[in-house]
């Protein structure tokens, strides 16, 4: 394949085939000790959908430049970028720099499409070739900062220095200490007059790798296999294409995501991106590893950052960043959804957790024998015990009160149980006291603590012995679906209701709020079922 068959960074998005809304290429690094292994990886890179491969020559053992580069460049099924990264720039090569630069000159001669030259030696390299390079070869001049992302001013200066070398393509890679670091890189990228690669390394820099398509980067890197990265934070090519719908991201794509910490294992991006694609909504949904919600909201304040879900531990902090708060969310004191009004940019917070949870519990009670009480809520009049007094606990206690239940809040920290119980006109006890709490039969129990959640699935918030007193047990945890609590409740003869139903119900509502269209409920349900 030649480079002419893939869209150049300058191509007009609208004349490209309809399945691609940006011209940003996906480059898969190949890192192996032998040429044969690299050739196998190149085949895989093509299979998974990469546009080009980066041959990381510094990983090769017993490297013979002319012979090895000849084989790799000629036999590659994809266009090639040759990188021979020295240890002083984060690579594997520790030898003589003249020999290293000689190999890059050989790569040009043998027909590589791109070569990468580090800024520190770019002038020396350009002097050595004296303007002579095959026309098709493009030189990427790169700079890597493995410690931080400098200020906007410093990044601007760096880019100017790279441009001054005569680079065909500018590459900067910095390190994310905070998710807001990517904003400074986007600023430079979006205004760049030359083709540019601008990435922020590390988990907190993930958005720079995905949104590079939105901001017009020349390429982004995607790995062939999960975890086999050439720089920290690289997603797989498959994730870029299938999870984040990378080809569908355009300059006008609206950005959404789930704000939490940790957030790596959230399956929200999978569900929401699948939903957005199926209803042709021009939006992307990202995991947002946020340390400080207010900083995040202040930094990404453009209308394109259109809406967020909130999860642990940021639901209360999210509420403080709203310009307007839905009355239910205000009463609960936490949000799990935030929407930017496109007309005035104002942020409105909602809490849709309680709707989904209460609906799941009501359904479970109706399905179990003798729990129905006509057209009213089967929760009405029941003794409803909520374990946990955090965001989910508050939503559940609030929802229970709305439905006419008598609410008891049981929490590890008694003061928090007391504060929540006072808010909903209920009773407060400690989790320890709940072990012997048995004022009546047929009570309903809801777990809103993370006890029993993956990876600690052997844990449970209440002993099996105490579960005998309940007619129905609900667990807000949805990874796993069958928590130890629910398994033991069923063994005790109680009906069970799942956190997945709560999760699905609130996902339906949020997809509708983000997109303005009905949620594809079957599809969302199927995607979740396939991934839990
Ligand atoms: P949160 O605001 O951090 O509150 C956590 C609550 O759990 C607090 O009351 C805390 O007690 C208690 N807790 C934490 N660790 C504990 C432990 N080791 N032993 C006993 N109690 C403990 O969290 P959240 O947002 O409410 O989430 C709670 C759970 O609900 C999570 O598992 C989450 O995944 C789940 N959830 C599910 C959905 C869904 O859609 N299915 C939606 C939201 C939340 P202290 O006050 O003593 O710290």
Domains of the chain in start order, with CATH, are: 25-251 (3.20.20.70), 260-350+506-530 (3.40.50.10860), 354-497 (3.40.50.720)
Cβ neighbour number for residue 110 with a 10 Å cutoff:
19
Protein residue whose Cα sits closest to atom 36 of ligand 1 = 476
Helix, strand, coil percentages in the chain from 3-state DSSP, rounded to 5:
40, 20, 40
DSSP string, 140-183: EEEEE-SS----HHHHHHHHHHHHHTT-SEEEEEEE-SSTTHHH
Q: Is 353 exposed, middle or buried (0-12, 13-18, 19+ CB in 10 A)?
A: buried
- Cis peptide leading into 262, omega within 30 of 0? yes
DSSP state of 3: G
Mean pLDDT score across all residues of the chain = 94
Query: Residue 353 and residue 335: Cα distance in Å, rounded?
Result: 8
Catalytic residue among 46, 138, 171, 314: 171
Tokens linked to 226: 């999960």
Identify whether the C-beta of residue 185 lies closer than 8 Å to the C-beta of residue 200: yes
Query: Residue 225 and residue 237: Cα distance in Å, rounded?
Result: 8
pLDDT in tens, 297-341: 999 999 999 999 999 899 999 999 999 999 999 999 889 999 999
Question: Is-catalytic flag, 315?
Answer: yes
pLDDT in tens, 411-423: 999 999 999 999 9
Identify whether the C-beta of residue 351 lies closer than 8 Å to the C-beta of residue 335: yes
**Atom of ligand 1 at shortest distance to CA of 453?**
32
* pLDDT(22) > 60: yes
Protein residue whose Cα sits closest to atom 27 of ligand 1 = 392
Q: Is the CB of 448 under 6 A from ligand 1?
A: yes
Question: Is-catalytic flag, 171?
Answer: yes
CA 365-370-376 angle, to 5 degrees, is: 60
In sequence order, the β-bridge partners of residue 285 are 256
Identify whether the C-beta of residue 532 lies closer than 8 Å to the C-beta of residue 500: yes
Protein residue whose Cα sits closest to atom 18 of ligand 1 = 451
Tokens linked to 441: 């039969």
Q: What is the pLDDT of residue 374?
A: 62
Protein residue whose Cα sits closest to atom 7 of ligand 1 = 449
* pLDDT(10) > 60: no
**Atom of ligand 1 at shortest distance to CA of 450?**
32
The structure tokens 């119900």 sit at 505
Residues 6+ apart with CB under 8 A from 395: 332, 334, 336, 351, 353, 354, 357, 448
Q: What is the pLDDT of residue 1?
A: 41
Tokens linked to 529: 């079922």
Question: What distance lies between CA 324 and its chain's CA centroid?
Answer: 26
The average pLDDT across 91-101 equals 98
Q: What is the pLDDT of residue 355?
A: 87
pLDDT band with cut points at 50, 70 and 90 for residue 3:
very low
Q: Is the CB of 453 under 6 A from ligand 1?
A: yes
Residues 6+ apart with CB under 8 A from 459: 451, 452, 484
Query: Residue 275 and residue 311: Cα distance in Å, rounded?
Result: 19
- Give SS3 for 380: coil
* pLDDT(526) > 60: yes
- Give SS3 for 210: helix
Percent of the chain scoring above 70 in pLDDT: 95
Buried b (16+ CB within 10 A) or exposed e, 154-187: ebeebbeebeebebebbbbbbbbebbbbbbbbbe
pLDDT in tens, 277-301: 999 999 999 999 999 999 999 999 9
Both ends of the chain: CA-CA distance in Å? 39
Cβ neighbour number for residue 40 with a 10 Å cutoff:
14
Tokens linked to 10: 């300058």
Q: What is the pLDDT of residue 373?
A: 52
Site to substitute for ligand 1 among 272, 311, 313, 390, most atoms within 8 A of C-beta: 390
Q: Is the CB of 521 under 6 A from ligand 1?
A: no
pLDDT band with cut points at 50, 70 and 90 for residue 15:
very low
Identify whether the C-beta of residue 255 lies closer than 8 Å to the C-beta of residue 284: yes
């Amino acid at each position: 394949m030649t480079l002419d068959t893939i869209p150049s960074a300058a191509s007009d998005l609208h004349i490209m085939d309809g399945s691609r809304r940006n011209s940003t290429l996906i480059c898969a690094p190949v890192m192996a000790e032998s040429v044969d292994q690299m050739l196998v990886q190149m085949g895989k890179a093509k299979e998974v959908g990469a546009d080009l491969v980066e041959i990381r020559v510094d990983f090769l053992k017993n490297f013979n430049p002319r012979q090895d580069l000849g084989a790799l460049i000629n036999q590659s099924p994809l266009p090639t970028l040759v990188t021979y990264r020295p240890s002083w720039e984060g690579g594997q090569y520790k030898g003589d720099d003249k020999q290293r630069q000689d190999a890059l000159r050989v790569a040009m001669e043998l027909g590589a499409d791109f070569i990468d030259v580090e800024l520190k030696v770019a002038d020396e390299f350009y002097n050595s070739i004296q303007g002579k390079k095959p026309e098709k070869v493009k030189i990427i001049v790169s700079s890597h900062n493995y410690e931080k992302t400098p200020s906007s001013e410093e990044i601007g200066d760096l880019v100017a220095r790279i441009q001054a070398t005569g680079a065909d393509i500018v590459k900067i890679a910095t390190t994310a200490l905070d998710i807001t670091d990517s904003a400074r890189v986007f600023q430079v990228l979006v205004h760049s007059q030359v083709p540019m690669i601008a990435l922020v390394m590390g988990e907190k820099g993930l958005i720079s790798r995905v949104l590079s398509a939105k901001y017009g980067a020349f390429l982004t890197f995607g790995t062939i296999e999960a975890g086999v990265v050439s720089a920290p934070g690289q997603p797989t090519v498959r994730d870029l294409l299938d999870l984040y719908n990378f080809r569908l991201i355009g300059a006008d794509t609206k950005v959404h995501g789930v704000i939490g910490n940790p957030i790596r294992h959230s399956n929200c991006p999978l569900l929401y991106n699948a939903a957005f694609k199926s209803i042709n909504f021009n939006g992307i949904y990202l995991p947002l590893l946020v340390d400080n919600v207010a900083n995040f909201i202040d930094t990404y304040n453009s209308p394109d950052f259109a809406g967020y879900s909130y999860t642990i531990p940021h639901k209360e902090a999210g509420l403080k960043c709203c310009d307007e708060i839905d009355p239910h969310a205000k009463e609960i004191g936490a949000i799990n959804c935030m929407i930017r009004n496109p007309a005035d940019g104002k942020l409105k917070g909602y809490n849709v957790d309680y709707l989904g949870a209460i609906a799941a519990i009501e359904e479970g009670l109706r399905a179990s024998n003798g729990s129905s009480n006509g057209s009213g809520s089967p929760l009405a009049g029941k003794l409803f015990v909520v374990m946990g007094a955090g965001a989910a606990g508050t939503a559940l206690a609030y929802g229970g009160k709305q439905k006419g239940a008598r609410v008891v809040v049981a929490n590890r920290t008694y003061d928090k149980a007391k504060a929540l119980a006072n808010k909903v006109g209920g009773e407060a006890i400690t989790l320890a006291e709940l072990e012997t709490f048995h004022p009546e039969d047929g009570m309903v129990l809801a777990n809103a603590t993370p006890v029993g959640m993956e990876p600690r699935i052997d844990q449970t918030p209440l002993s099996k012995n105490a579960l005998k007193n309940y007619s129905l047990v609900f667990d807000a945890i949805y990874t796993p679906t069958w928590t130890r609590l629910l398994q033991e409740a069923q063994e005790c003869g109680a009906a069970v209701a799942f956190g997945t139903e709560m999760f699905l119900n609130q996902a339906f509502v949020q997809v509708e709020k983000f997109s303005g269209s009905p949620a594809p409920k079957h599809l969302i349900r199927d995607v979740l079922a396939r991934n839990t």
